[in-house]
Chain A
């Protein structure tokens, strides 16, 4: 599975919607229920599934799904 596919399954789980299909340019406005609260769940789930940890700095720089994907890939390649 590519990172994007893995991330997609996390999105479906967190937002409880099997039909979500993520794109790099997607933002919080494009996903029902993506607010600050569920964002915490999303990030924690991503951290748990990929076995990575984001810094506070990184958390605040995610402007869309693409940023999140890039950051995950970067962390995975650093391991």
Chain B
């Protein structure tokens, strides 16, 4: 059930919201849990069993991690929990990919091949397995106490606003909200507003721009022209942000409607001035997950006594081991997005550039003119999205070559005018404004300026217009899934 589908907007959401706030406060959690399980089963059918098993097993891991915190068994519990969660993820997401790679090797040996079908990828598995790992590790590290109530833990795992594509919530983030949610009109209204803005970002901007980027990325490499290739990647760059940040806005907004305060997942990533800065602003719940549960433990594990001494004495200025960790972390971050070499190459590219920025470029860049820093980031990020979007590394290379001016012979058939229309240009214009804090600053000025008393009215008009335009757009088109739901 997509957040932008009529069945969700006009049936599921109103019924669940009404039921949730009408039942007594003691039943609220159970009602929301039941609704969330229903939400999952609606789209995923029997895979709801997988979610339930994951909840049960991780609930036990949490208790065990707390019980054996200070004994050697604790570490064993943690490793089993990590392997169990990653094992499930690997089976559903990567088994076919790994098998096909092993088969390449087996072919050369003339050995019989592995026969593995592509598995159905259960909705949200990449997100809830990571959430569970964070939970068990946090319990072990004594950052949180384990949740003893099964229903509360189940709600933490299954809460439908964030089930399909995150944000990957941490237990401490919602611990208080899990314990009881009082009606809070202000929070509810801010949730509705946020949801509508997310809906608009997805339906009006991302889906409109997607039509063009999908068309352009469907052109075979030799048919592209340089201008069309640039239009395609600019469209995709904006589409991806509006699709995913729109989804995140909807998730955060839904959370608030039910009394849950979920942390921000984006902070204007495209106005960053370095890739390091970008990763503090893009998919924050994932980047902080990788930092806290992979980068830091890995970096520490790689430190020997000699290196520790060298660092303390200032004789090991360049921490090559941490640079290696960054590379490993981002390669895995690429793989997390999907079983394919394009994603892996995308992650490696980010790892290498982040390493270079940390070693040397970051300091040099600070001396550049600010527009140049922005141009650098946008160039890096746009090029990396080619890898992210193309079906493979080879086609990505052809695409980048075309962007650089080496267009194929058949390119002339595809002129820029074929792909541009008023609708697209309007959406692109809105998208570019929307990637900056410009609108928020205008709203802030309005709220504090002479026209202050009209501000609530103006906001209401804006929200209603976005709702109407989104509904109109939904009614006239087939809806498309969120990009990150496929990861």
Taking beta carbons and an 8 Å cutoff, which residues of A are in contact with B?
Answer: 13-14, 16, 32-33, 35-38, 40-41, 44-45, 47-49, 55-57, 59-60
Bound Cα distance from A49 to B292, whole angstroms: 24
Bound Cα distance from A59 to B309, whole angstroms: 19
Bound Cα distance from A47 to B305, whole angstroms: 11
- Are A44's CB and B358's CB within 8 A? no
> Provided the pairs A32-B363, A55-B141, A57-B143 are in contact, do residues A37 and B311 lie with their beta carbons within 8 angstroms?
no
Q: Is B362 an interface residue (CB 8 A)?
A: yes
Which A residue sits closest to B292, measured CB to CB? A60
Closest 3 CB pairs of A and B: A48-B312, A37-B358, A40-B299
Bound Cα distance from A25 to B322, whole angstroms: 26
Q: Is B295 an interface residue (CB 8 A)?
A: yes
Which B residue sits closest to A48, measured CB to CB? B312
Bound Cα distance from A14 to B297, whole angstroms: 20
Note all chain B residues with C-beta closer than 8 A to A49: 312
Bound Cα distance from A16 to B317, whole angstroms: 9
| Minimum CB–CB distance for A34 against chain B, Å | 10
Taking CB atoms and an 8 Å cut-off, the chain B residues in 281-318 that contact chain A are 291-292, 295-297, 299-300, 303, 307-309, 311-314, 316-317
What 1/0 flags go to B434-459 for Cβ under 8 Å of A? 00000000000000000000000000
Note all chain B residues with C-beta closer than 8 A to A57: 141-143
Bound Cα distance from A45 to B141, whole angstroms: 23
Q: Is B323 an interface residue (CB 8 A)?
A: yes
- Are B141's CB and A37's CB within 8 A? no
From A41, A48, A56, contact of B297 by CB (8 A): A56
Taking CB atoms and an 8 Å cut-off, the chain B residues in 317-345 that contact chain A are 317, 319, 322-323, 325-326
> Provided the pairs A13-B314, A32-B363, A45-B311 are in contact, do residues A38 and B358 lie with their beta carbons within 8 angstroms?
yes
Q: Is B366 an interface residue (CB 8 A)?
A: yes
Which A residue sits closest to B307, measured CB to CB? A44
Q: Is B398 an interface residue (CB 8 A)?
A: no
Q: Is the interface of A mostly helix, strand, loop or mixed?
A: helix
> Provided the pairs A41-B311, A45-B311 are in contact, do residues A35 and B319 lie with their beta carbons within 8 angstroms?
no
Interface size on B, residues (CB 8 A): 33
**Further contacts, 7 of them, CB under 8 A, given A32-B366, A40-B325, A60-B141:** A32-B363, A35-B362, A40-B300, A40-B322, A41-B311, A44-B311, A44-B312
Q: Is B382 an interface residue (CB 8 A)?
A: no
Q: Is B103 an interface residue (CB 8 A)?
A: no
Taking beta carbons and an 8 Å cutoff, which residues of B are in contact with A?
Answer: 141-143, 276, 291-292, 295-297, 299-300, 303, 307-309, 311-314, 316-317, 319, 322-323, 325-326, 354-355, 357-358, 362-363, 366
> Provided the pairs A35-B362, A57-B143 are in contact, do residues A47 and B308 lie with their beta carbons within 8 angstroms?
yes
| Minimum CB–CB distance for B272 against chain A, Å | 13
Bound Cα distance from A45 to B50, whole angstroms: 45
From B311, B319, B326, contact of A48 by CB (8 A): B311
Bound Cα distance from A44 to B322, whole angstroms: 12
- Are B312's CB and A47's CB within 8 A? yes
- Are B322's CB and A37's CB within 8 A? yes
From A41, A55, A59, contact of B319 by CB (8 A): A41
| Minimum CB–CB distance for A54 against chain B, Å | 10
| Minimum CB–CB distance for A40 against chain B, Å | 5
- Are B299's CB and A45's CB within 8 A? no
> Provided the pairs A16-B317, A35-B358 are in contact, do residues A48 and B309 lie with their beta carbons within 8 angstroms?
yes
> Provided the pairs A32-B366, A47-B312 are in contact, do residues A41 and B292 lie with their beta carbons within 8 angstroms?
no
Bound Cα distance from A37 to B316, whole angstroms: 13
Bound Cα distance from A38 to B17, whole angstroms: 46
| Minimum CB–CB distance for B137 against chain A, Å | 9
> Provided the pairs A16-B317, A40-B319, A44-B311 are in contact, do residues A33 and B142 lie with their beta carbons within 8 angstroms?
no
